[in-house]
């Protein structure tokens, strides 16, 4: 597999690993999101000063506000982290 194929498979596996815990494998519940962040992106939560910060962060991932994070909303998080990881600004800020 190419690097791009590997990365896509890892993303899908990661999403599915946490989303399927409650049996609803297409969405992450709030607790599943928190567990994903704690285990996959520990630095992200360690920067949060208190529980309110964590709740705000998780709330921000739920773009359509229905209390769950689906794969597309998860990919928005991944895209933002991708920009942050490499200091890549979307073209508008180029």
Please report, as ranges, the residues that interact with its own copies according to CB under 8 A.
Answer: 2-16, 26-27, 36, 39-42, 66, 68, 70-72, 75, 78-79, 81-83, 85-86, 88-91, 94
Residues facing residue 70 across a β-bridge: 27
33: exposed, middle or buried (C-beta count within 10 Å: 0-12, 13-18, 19+)?
buried
CB of residue 49 to its own copies, shortest distance in Å: 23
Minimum CB–partner distance for residue 17 and its own copies (Å) = 8
Between 46 and 89, CB nearer to its own copies: 89
d(CA 20, CA 32): 9
Nearer to its own copies, 4 or 52 (CB): 4
Minimum CB separation from its own copies for residue 94, in Å? 5
Distances, alpha carbon 93 to alpha carbons 58, 76, 79, 84, in Å: 26, 18, 15, 13
């Amino acid at each position: 597999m190419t690097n791009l194929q590997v990365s896509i498979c890892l993303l899908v596996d990661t999403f599915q690993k946490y989303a399927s815990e409650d049996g609803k494998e297409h969405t992450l519940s709030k607790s599943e999101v928190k567990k994903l962040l704690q285990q996959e992106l520990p630095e992200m939560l360690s920067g949060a000063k208190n529980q309110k910060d964590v709740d705000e962060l998780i709330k921000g991932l739920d773009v359509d506000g229905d209390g769950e994070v689906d794969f597309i909303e998860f990919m928005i998080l991944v895209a933002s982290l991708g920009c942050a990881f490499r200091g890549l600004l979307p073209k508008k800020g180029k």
